[in-house]
Amino acid sequence: MSNSNNSAKSRSTDLKYFVTQEGFSEEIEQSNLFHKFNAKVPARFVLYFLSCSGFLVSFMMRNDINIALVAMTAKNSTQLTDISQTNENATLSPALASADTFDWSPTVKSVITGSFFVCYVLSQVVGGVAAQHFGTKRVFGWSQFATAFGSLCIPFAADLHYTVVIIIRCIQGFASGLTWPAMYAVVGYWIPLSERSRFMSSFQGFSIGIGLTYVICGFIIDNFSWRYAFFTTGSLGMLWCFLWYMLAYNTPHEHPRITEEELEYIEMNIGVEVKEPVGMKVPWKCIFTSLPVWAISITTFGRIWIHYVFIVYGPSFMTNILKFPFQANGFLSGMPFICSYLSSVVFCCIADKMVLKEVMSLTNIRKLFTAFSQIIPGILIFSIGYINNIVVLLIIWFIAVTYITASYAGAMANIVDIAPNLAGQVLAFCQTIHMSASFLSPLAGGFIVTSEVSLI
What is the mean predicted confidence (pLDDT) over 134-141? Answer: 88
The predicted structure's pLDDT at residue 10 = 46
Backbone angles phi, psi at 83, to 5 degrees: -65, -45
pLDDT of residue 75: 57
- For 338, the domain range is 281-451
Confidence of residue 90 (pLDDT cuts 50, 70, 90): very low
Residues 60 and 117 in one domain: yes
What tens digit of pLDDT does each residue of 429-451 get?
887 787 778 777 766 766 666 55
Average pLDDT over residues 270-276: 56
**252: DSSP letter:** G
Q: Does residue 33 lie within any of the structural domains?
A: no
Q: How many domains does the chain have?
A: 2
Question: What was the pLDDT predicted at 452?
Answer: 54
Is residue 26 over pLDDT 50? no
Q: What is the CATH number of the domain that holds 60?
A: 1.20.1250.20
pLDDT for the residue numbered 442 = 67
Residue 230 has pLDDT above 90, yes or no: yes
Residue type at position 165:
V
Query: What is the secondary structure of 126-193 as a DSSP string?
Result: HHHHHHHHH-HHHHHHHHHHHHHHHHHHHHHHHHH-HHHHHHHHHHHHHHHTTHHHHHHHHHHHH--H
What's the start-to-end Cα distance of the chain, in Å?
61
Report DSSP state, residue 449. Answer: -
Which residues make Cβ contacts (< 8 Å) with residue 261, sequence separation at least 6? 39
Of the residues 214, 246, 280, which one is the last residue of a structural domain?
280
Together in a domain, 199 and 333? no
| pLDDT for residue 449 | 61
Same domain for 111 and 229, yes or no, is yes
Indicate if the pLDDT at residue 275 is higher than 70. Answer: no
Mean pLDDT is lowest, of 33-37, 335-339, 368-372, for 33-37
350 shares a domain with 310: yes
Domain end position, chosen among 259, 280, 301: 280
Same domain, 289 and 264: no
Residue 226 sits in the same domain as residue 306: no
What's the pLDDT score for residue 445?
Answer: 67
Overall average pLDDT of the 74-98 stretch: 48
Same domain, 55 and 166: yes
> Domain ends where: 247, 280, 313?
280
Q: 71 by DSSP, 3-state: which? A: helix
Whether residue 447 is contained in a domain is answered as: yes
Q: Is residue 316 part of a domain?
A: yes
Average pLDDT of the residues of the chain: 77
**310 and 217 in a common domain:** no
CB 206 within 8 A of CB 59: yes
CB 214 within 8 A of CB 412: no
Q: Does residue 15 lie in a domain region? A: no
* pLDDT recorded at residue 99: 54
Name the more confident of 25 and 427.
Answer: 427
Same domain, 274 and 289: no
At 317 the pLDDT is: 75
Residue 98 domain-assigned? no
In a domain, 32, yes or no: no
Nearest-angstrom CA–CA distance, 129 and 116? 21
Task: Choose among 26, 315, 1: nearest CA to 132.
Answer: 1
Q: What is the mean pLDDT of residues 52-75?
A: 86
Q: Is the pLDDT of residue 146 over 60?
A: yes
Q: What is the pLDDT of residue 80?
A: 45
Tell me, yes or no, whether 348 and 261 share the same domain: no
pLDDT at residue 1 in the model: 42
Name the region of 355 (left: φ>0; alpha: ψ -120 to 50; beta: rest): alpha
The predicted pLDDT at position 280 comes to 60
CA dihedral 217, 222, 226, 228 (to 10 degrees): -70
- Mean pLDDT in residue range 204-217: 82
* Closest to 35 in 3D by CA, of 20, 19, 53: 19
- Is residue 52 in some structural domain? yes
| Nearest-angstrom CA–CA distance, 152 and 237 | 10
- If one counts every other C-beta atom within 10 angstroms of the C-beta of residue 109, the result is 20
Q: 109 in a domain, yes or no?
A: yes
The whole-number pLDDT of residue 156 equals 93
Q: Are residues 183 and 307 in the same domain?
A: no
Give the model confidence (pLDDT) of 174-194 as tens digits. Answer: 999 888 888 877 877 888 877
How large a percentage of the chain has pLDDT more than 90?
A: 14
* Lowest mean per-residue pLDDT among 16-20, 226-230, 298-302: 16-20
For the segment 280-298, what is each residue's pLDDT rounded down to a tens digit? 677 878 888 888 889 888 8
- 247 with 275, same domain: the answer is yes
